[in-house]
Amino acid sequence: MARQGILIVVSGFSGAGKGTIMRELLKRYEQYALSVSATTRAPREGEEEGKDYFFKTREAFERMIADDELVEYACYVNHYYGTPRAYVEETLSRGRDVILEIEIQGARKIRKQFPEAVLLFVTTRDAQVLKERLTKRGTESPEVIGQRLKRAAQESEGIEEYDYLVVNDELEVCVEEIHAIIESEHRRIRYNMELVNKVREELKRFSEGE
């Protein structure tokens, strides 16, 4: 019985470690597929086209919007970010769980379009750790770090819209916690109706004296 793929949204403050968590989750479990977003921001050192992002000009991104090629998109600290539609739809239909690592405006749009999506929010235990990680990463200017922290403060107001909170203290624990959450989603009755109906049929036949 092929199981149905679940759409998972993972959001979290910049610097909360989402990227590392996602890489580890994908390495451990084949059931997950990470959607690669399109963005107008410039590649960071080491980032690859088609692996980390599809890097686009503003014009190309706006064309994707006009052609309805994105399931959702948002503006984050002066750049566009969006989720390509085709990959999400095809991968879900093949039964894999698709993870979208996106910010809160995108998460809201996904919730509207896919009410059964599971929304997870990743945080650190305190804000000091976030600031330190952003500074240590050294990929953003102090000005951009400031903007990202301001954005984090705004995003923290929307946490109640998510289903689950995951604290990234220890990578190992955090990855297994996320996997456990998604596995419990798969146990929901609505994803298991094929089995339920099969057992119902069998019981009916037994009770009719077969």
Task: Note the residues at the interface with ligand 5GP (CB under 6 A).
Answer: 14, 37, 41, 72-74, 76, 81-83, 101-103, 105-106
CB of 106 to ligand 5GP, least distance (A): 2
CB of 158 to ligand 5GP, least distance (A): 12
**Nearer Cβ to ligand 5GP (72/185):** 72
Can you give the length of the chain in residues? 210
**Nearer Cβ to ligand 5GP (4/105):** 105
CB of 93 to ligand 5GP, least distance (A): 20
CB of 113 to ligand 5GP, least distance (A): 13
Question: How many angstroms separate the Cα of 135 from the Cα of each of 22, 50, 142, 166?
Answer: 21, 26, 8, 22
d(CA 107, CA 170): 25
**Nearer Cβ to ligand 5GP (53/185):** 53
Question: HSE (CB half, 13 Å, CA atoms) of 32?
Answer: 23
Distance of CA 43 to the CA centre of its chain: 20
d(CA 9, CA 118): 6
**Nearer Cβ to ligand 5GP (102/182):** 102
Token pair in block for residue 28: 């451990």
